[in-house]
Amino acid sequence: MQKPFISLFIPTLDGGGAERVMLHLAEGFAVRGFDVDLVVAKAEGAYLSKIPKTIRLVNLDAKSPVLLFKTLALKQYLKQEQPNFLISTLDIFSSAMWAKRLAGVSTQVVMCVQTNLSQQFQDRHGMLMQKLKWSVVQHFYPWADAIVTASAGVARDLEQNAKIPMQEMTVIHNPVVTSDFVEKSQETVTHPWFAEGQPPVLLGVGRIVKQKSFTTLVQALALVRQHCPARLMILGDVDGREPEVKPELDGLIETFGLQDDVLFPGFVENPYAYMAKADVFVLSSIYEGFGNVVAEAIATGTPVVSTDCESGPAEILNQGQYGKLVPVGDHEAMAEAIVSTLNNPMDAAVLRVRSQAFTIDCIVQQYLDVLNGLQAIQPSTQPSTVGVI
């Protein structure tokens, strides 16, 4: 019998961690010979040009209100294409499950939770909206045929706040080490900061938002420089939903007199090359779902300092075995950990071995184990060309 037809559903292909995960999963399924659709509510974002030819992109082109129209468009897609499985993420209001029920199809839906929802809701919403969203998650996520979380911390958060038992979820870490990862990490970076004889470079990666708490990292840099020379580079775009964060960072940098030693190159297509050349990778986040960049950094062999935030980094670093963990928001502890790491970096080979737990092949197999547990392999239907861009 033929392999099943697998679809992955995500709002857009913006340059975030969840989008990268879905792209990597789609690629991993395609490499194994599955028919794969990557279904987006809107065909936009930094990763739009990164989709391999082996993956079909389906643009639902949802209009406002997006929640309603993406659900109706997804219903039509499911009714027409009838994939065996639909893996959905960034789907708080369970559009995938509503679409399945409205379409009346047998497609089995896997809800993939990529972030610590209680932290995200608290960060973005008032108490009333937080309660509403948790109510939606509690009532509709159990409709899914399976729930996968990116970390055990995310699963615990769902159990505590949505009353979904841990045993009804499967923890599968994110796939970050691609087949061309080593090649990309060895690409040349021409920036003069990485030239021989220059001061050590600390690297942060992520959207310029409050969640990433780059203010903590800037404050830590100011303390580090009291002990040794160092510079800080932060890769990532300013998020249009939080435009005030970058000016606040700029003000803090000016206060410490760090204008010549902190750089914001913006979004870069290949952050792995920068990670490989940095002296220490630092995650300063208030919360994460998994912390893809931590796993990526250790895959390049670069030592890591991370906040012990909910959720993910401690799991990646095995409670501090593979990198130093510091309390959230504690710039003094972060500075101390950075100085210690600069003086005694962890063996790169040890870090690379650890990163093999996060290869695409390893993680895709874990997803296939979940899918195989849901139903026997069924013949795939040949996808049509309607709605493809």
Angle in degrees, 0-180, between the axes of helices 292-299 and 348-355, rounded to the nearest 10? 130
Query: Looking at the predicted structure, is the pLDDT value of residue 377 above 50?
Result: no
Query: Looking at the predicted structure, is the pLDDT value of residue 209 above 60?
Result: yes
Instruction: Tell me if the pTM is above 0.75.
Output: yes
Mean pLDDT value of segment 165-192: 95
Distance CA(277)–CA(117), nearest Å, equals 33
Lowest mean pLDDT among 173-187, 295-309, 370-384: 370-384
Distance CA(351)–CA(146), nearest Å, equals 32
Q: Specify the pLDDT at position 143.
A: 95
Fold match between domain 5-175+359-374 and domain 182-356: yes
Q: Where are the domains of the chain?
A: 5-175+359-374, 182-356
Residue 122's pLDDT band (cuts 50, 70, 90): confident
In percent, the amount of the chain with pLDDT more than 70 equals 96
Q: Where are the alpha helices (DSSP H) in the chain?
A: 17-31, 66-81, 95-103, 117-124, 127-140, 152-162, 181-185, 214-224, 245-255, 271-277, 292-299, 313-316, 331-343, 348-355, 360-374
Query: Looking at the predicted structure, is the pLDDT value of residue 380 above 90?
Result: no
Q: Specify the pLDDT at position 277.
A: 98
Mean pLDDT value of segment 116-129: 89
Q: Specify the pLDDT at position 379.
A: 38
Mean pLDDT value of segment 134-163: 96
Q: Specify the pLDDT at position 232.
A: 98
Write out pLDDT tens, residues 254-280: 999 999 999 999 989 899 999 999 999
Per-residue tokens: 111: 């809800």
In percent, the amount of the chain with pLDDT more than 90 equals 87
The domain defined by 5-175+359-374 folds into Rossmann fold (3.40.50)
- Are the beta carbons of 384 and 81 closer than 8 angstroms? yes
- Are the beta carbons of 225 and 194 closer than 8 angstroms? no
Query: Looking at the predicted structure, is the pLDDT value of residue 77 above 60?
Result: yes
Query: Looking at the predicted structure, is the pLDDT value of residue 286 above 80?
Result: yes
Distance from the first to the final alpha carbon of the chain: 29
Q: Specify the pLDDT at position 315.
A: 97
Query: Looking at the predicted structure, is the pLDDT value of residue 389 above 70?
Result: no
Write out pLDDT tens, residues 331-372: 999 999 999 999 999 999 999 999 999 999 999 999 999 999
Q: Specify the pLDDT at position 2.
A: 65
CATH 3.40.50.300 is held by the domain 182-356: no
